[in-house]
Amino acid sequence: MLDAADALAAFRDRFVFDDGDRIYVDGNSLGRLPGDTPARLAARVDEWGARLVTAWPDWIDLPIEVGDALAPLVGAGPGEVLVADSTTVNLYKLVHAALDVRAGAIVARADDFPTDRYVLQGIAAARGRELRLVGDVTAALEPPVALVCLSHVDYRTGRLEDLPAMTAAAHAAGALALWDLSHSAGTVPVELDAADADLAVGCTYKYLNAGPGAPAFLYVAAQLHARLRSPIWGWFGQRDQFAMERPYEPVDGVGRFLAGTPPVLDLAAVEEGVRLTAEAGVDRLRAKSVALCDLIVAAHDAWLAPLGFELGSPRDGERRGSHVSIRHPDAWPICRALIERAAVIPDFRAPDSIRLGVAPLYTSFSDVWRALDRLRRLVEAGEHRLVDAATARVT
Amino acid sequence: MLDAADALAAFRDRFVFDDGDRIYVDGNSLGRLPGDTPARLAARVDEWGARLVTAWPDWIDLPIEVGDALAPLVGAGPGEVLVADSTTVNLYKLVHAALDVRAGAIVARADDFPTDRYVLQGIAAARGRELRLVGDVTAALEPPVALVCLSHVDYRTGRLEDLPAMTAAAHAAGALALWDLSHSAGTVPVELDAADADLAVGCTYKYLNAGPGAPAFLYVAAQLHARLRSPIWGWFGQRDQFAMERPYEPVDGVGRFLAGTPPVLDLAAVEEGVRLTAEAGVDRLRAKSVALCDLIVAAHDAWLAPLGFELGSPRDGERRGSHVSIRHPDAWPICRALIERAAVIPDFRAPDSIRLGVAPLYTSFSDVWRALDRLRRLVEAGEHRLVDAATARVT
């Protein structure tokens, strides 16, 4: 039994399973609630109640402190990561900062995650830069290129980008490399410093299990701190913040990318999610994630392909993140039926993909096996033809 | 006894007072914890644990729903306010949006709150606009002026700006008017729609008691929605958000100013803070706030002026927000001594101001009387000469 041999099996007990018979294979969208998070959040709330502003000396460095805790998970050093704002806002800050110091176009994938494309489109329009949204990034690096912006793991297919190689290709074209780690942080080893990456952002509510809308992280390589600045000049990035008379002069270090008052309560949940991930270790998480996804691929081949499914993800685990997409012309009603009639929670990505995400901290081999078995039975019985496909979408 | 006649006295019991003998007169910096907030936050956390992504249909409109609940507190209508991001980020979005549709300079006060000035400086530099940071705004409205950006209540002096008059003056100069309501929302009646104001931002962690770093709000007058767009093109502002193939096209309405995934947990605390404020009613809160501040002024005149203090706020309650600044050459050590030796928590604003903030939802007349009495005794006894003035600042 694969679960019996799973060195990470005990971590499942560190999460809340209040959802009965449901099988959750959507940790790639929103991670589960860690068991210790409610108490940590409650303690932070109590601290607000009891200490009020006198607690600010303990809170004010939290974005950097939590960033330092997160940094080893993405191959960054101390003082290179901070946690605040959303992934979208952080991406916005770093793209502008990059364009300040590099002339030329922005290169990104035409099928990248929407908010990444939107941010790039908006900034390209505002700054009069060419935006090359392409299928083949390597072929689109004709200089001058200012910035190459890529997702480490593709949100739809799970395809894992070669971060060191693409970073080197960006540099060879004279560009900075900016990575969106939303779908890799916490399940795929990321070596930002070792790959000489310049910039990165990522969310904490997927595999880092920090809760819906939890603050995101950003990374700026140490050697770039002095040259880059945020387009959003805010008081939390200001040198000697409480000497309020002065003109804006950003602090040294990654803290210059802070803007407004950081979300103190939420940072407690990020701390707990990061702590659990670090305790398990990204290498062990990666090994289990690949094995879980391999099981999905095997089940697809044996059970689903005969039912009209196609694999929408790389077959090779080395080239895949922590979810597997399976494609079917009836993906949308199948997805609804899985949720409503089979108590399996995946997610749907238009036009025809069902994403099955595995979160190696808490997804078991039995979860995967049972989810795929329910899926097979459901489609064999034609139950997806019984749901109202017009019902609201799961996000 | 003033407290016995206070129609809002019962609201004090709706807040957590876990701080013993301490007297808190810094609700203008960080509001107290409402008694029901821990349970509301815990319920939201439980919802995450039990429902995971299936709760998103209930969460996705929270920034607008909580904005609609907040709207009456600032004289706005439904669909004009949203709650997300920080005050700094929201200000950044609205300033850019305003400059897209108006040519000319930005006018603001040279002594406005730092983050407001910093944001304006950054944007003016990026867009090549003149920034007029002045003492006399009315005299600085020589066209072309694109935007007048003002704090409704000055963070240091508590001076209350005439919002309708200055909005009209901005319009007469051809400019849009953007208001920072951080120090007025929840204690001072604000009539954004009636004054024909264009744009506003404000924080929820002061008089709205939503907790440290809680998400901020922004307001865009309905008639401007179709013409303005956020500089940060994010997926939560996108029409048909989950049809992911399309280019960016913002939704109708204020939702176009959303960027990334909103902070679902924190929004529960904003909801509770807004609910309490609405229940008390801004007009009653204003009346009590003026009376509490009048008591500070009276105590200043009788007890503190002879000790070398000067009033740093308008004497006339009609021209003042909900805090009173008192100035003294030794303000910094006095502030430290108050905290360390007298258990009174005010805050300090360089170079010489002690701010005494009253939060009419929970500050009593007895609080104010006792805080001023302790301050008088402390300075009379010279206790402020005994503190180490080099100790860390209270923010």
Instruction: Nearest by CB to A233, from B121, B205, B263: name it.
Output: B121
**B265 with A262: Cβ contact below 8 A:** no
Q: Are residues A44 and A192 in the same domain?
A: yes
Residue at which a domain ends, from A280, A310, A328: A280
- Is the backbone of residue B357 left (phi > 0), alpha (psi -120 to 50) or beta? beta
Q: Are residues B259 and B289 in the same domain?
A: no
Q: Are residues A323 and A305 in the same domain?
A: yes
The dihedral formed by the CA atoms of A335, A340, A344 and A347, expressed in degrees to the nearest 10? 40
Instruction: Tell me what pLDDT residue B393 has.
Output: 46
Q: How far apart, in whole angstroms, are the C-alpha atoms of residue B115 and residue B206?
A: 16
**B263 with A214: Cβ contact below 8 A:** yes
Collect all residues of chain B within an 8 Å Cβ-Cβ radius of residue A266.
Answer: 213, 263, 265-266
* Local confidence pLDDT in tens for the 395 residues of chain A: 789 999 999 999 999 998 888 999 999 999 999 999 999 999 999 999 999 999 999 999 999 999 999 999 999 999 999 999 999 999 999 999 999 999 999 999 999 999 999 999 999 999 999 999 999 999 999 999 999 999 999 999 999 999 999 999 999 999 999 999 999 999 999 999 999 999 999 999 999 999 999 999 999 999 999 999 999 999 999 998 877 778 899 999 999 999 999 999 999 999 999 999 999 999 999 999 999 999 999 999 999 999 999 999 999 999 999 999 999 999 999 999 999 999 999 999 888 999 999 999 999 999 999 999 999 999 999 999 988 765 544 43
B391 inside domain: no
Collect all residues of chain A within an 8 Å Cβ-Cβ radius of residue B29.
Answer: 53
Instruction: Nearest by CB to B92, from A37, A232, A339: name it.
Output: A232
Q: How far apart, in whole angstroms, are the C-alpha atoms of residue A211 and residue A188?
A: 20
Instruction: Tell me what pLDDT residue A1 has.
Output: 72
CA distance B226 to chain A (A): 17
Q: How far apart, in whole angstroms, are the C-alpha atoms of residue B82 and residue B122?
A: 24
A229 inside domain: yes
Q: Are residues B320 and B213 in the same domain?
A: no
Q: Are residues A274 and A288 in the same domain?
A: no
Question: Using DSSP, how many helices (H) and how many strands (E) does chain B show?
Answer: 10, 13
Q: How far apart, in whole angstroms, are the C-alpha atoms of residue B183 and residue B313?
A: 14
Q: How far apart, in whole angstroms, are the C-alpha atoms of residue B10 and residue B384?
A: 35
Length reported for chain A: 395
Instruction: Nearest by CB to A86, from B214, B261, B345: name it.
Output: B261
Q: Are residues A176 and A145 in the same domain?
A: yes
**Residue B28 Cα distances to A310, B16, B25, B371, angstroms:** 59, 17, 8, 16
A274 inside domain: yes
Q: How far apart, in whole angstroms, are the C-alpha atoms of residue A345 and residue A395?
A: 11
Q: Which segments of A294-342 are extended strands (E)?
A: 310-311, 323-327
Q: Are residues A21 and A75 in the same domain?
A: no
**Residue B172 Cα distances to B102, B138, B141, angstroms:** 13, 11, 9
- The strand pair at B344-345 and A347-349 is best described as unpaired
Residue at which a domain ends, from B256, B280, B304: B280
Collect all residues of chain B within an 8 Å Cβ-Cβ radius of residue A135.
Answer: none
The answer, yes or no, to whether the previous bond of B314 is cis (omega within 30 of 0) is: no
Collect all residues of chain B within an 8 Å Cβ-Cβ radius of residue A261.
Answer: 86-88, 203, 205, 212-213
Residue at which a domain ends, from B224, B252, B280: B280
Q: Are residues B168 and B223 in the same domain?
A: yes
Q: Are residues A152 and A227 in the same domain?
A: yes
Q: Are residues A221 and A354 in the same domain?
A: no
**B212 with A85: Cβ contact below 8 A:** no
Other Cβ atoms less than 10 A from the Cβ of B139: the count is 10
Per-residue three-class SS string for A233-270: CCHHHECCCCCCCCCCCECCCHHHHCCCCCCHHHHHHH
A129 inside domain: yes
- Total number of domains constituting chain A: 2
A193 inside domain: yes
What is the CATH classification number for the domain harbouring A238?
3.40.640.10
B153, two tokens? 């209540």
Rounded to the nearest 5 percent, the helix, strand and coil shares of chain B are: 45, 15, 40
A68 inside domain: yes
Q: Are residues B20 and B53 in the same domain?
A: no
Instruction: Nearest by CB to B350, from A24, A234, A242: name it.
Output: A242
Instruction: Give the chain B residue nearest A113 (alpha carbons).
Output: B244
Instruction: Tell me what pLDDT residue A241 has.
Output: 84
Residue A328, domain extent:
9-30+281-386
A276 inside domain: yes
**A266 with B265: Cβ contact below 8 A:** yes
A254 inside domain: yes
Q: Residues near A129 by Cβ (< 8 Å), separated by ≥ 6?
A: A99, A104, A105, A106, A123, A146
Instruction: Tell me what pLDDT residue A13 has.
Output: 96
- Say which amino acid occupies A271: E
* Catalytic residue ranges of B: 113, 180, 205-206, 355
Instruction: Give the chain B residue nearest A247 (alpha carbons).
Output: B118
Instruction: Tell me what pLDDT residue A389 has.
Output: 62
Q: Are residues A142 and A52 in the same domain?
A: yes
Q: How far apart, in whole angstroms, are the C-alpha atoms of residue A160 and residue B113?
A: 45
Q: Residues near A316 by Cβ (< 8 Å), separated by ≥ 6?
A: none
CA distance B278 to chain A (A): 21
* Catalytic residue ranges of A: 113, 180, 205-206, 355
φ, ψ (nearest 5 deg) of residue A195: -85, 0
CA distance B235 to chain A (A): 5
* Local confidence pLDDT in tens for the 395 residues of chain B: 789 999 999 999 999 998 888 999 999 999 999 999 999 999 999 999 999 999 999 999 999 999 999 999 999 999 999 999 999 999 999 999 999 999 999 999 999 999 999 999 999 999 999 999 999 999 999 999 999 999 999 999 999 999 999 999 999 999 999 999 999 999 999 999 999 999 999 999 999 999 999 999 999 999 999 999 999 999 999 998 877 778 899 999 999 999 999 999 999 999 999 999 999 999 999 999 999 999 999 999 999 999 999 999 999 999 999 999 999 999 999 999 999 999 999 999 888 999 999 999 999 999 999 999 999 999 999 999 988 766 544 43
- A24, A33, A41, A53: best mutation site toward chain B, by most B Cβ within 10 Å? A53
Length reported for chain B: 395
**A263 with B263: Cβ contact below 8 A:** yes
What is the CATH classification number for the domain harbouring B309?
3.90.1150.10
Q: How far apart, in whole angstroms, are the C-alpha atoms of residue B252 and residue B224?
A: 11
**Residue B13 Cα distances to B33, B123, B363, B364, B386, angstroms:** 11, 44, 11, 11, 36
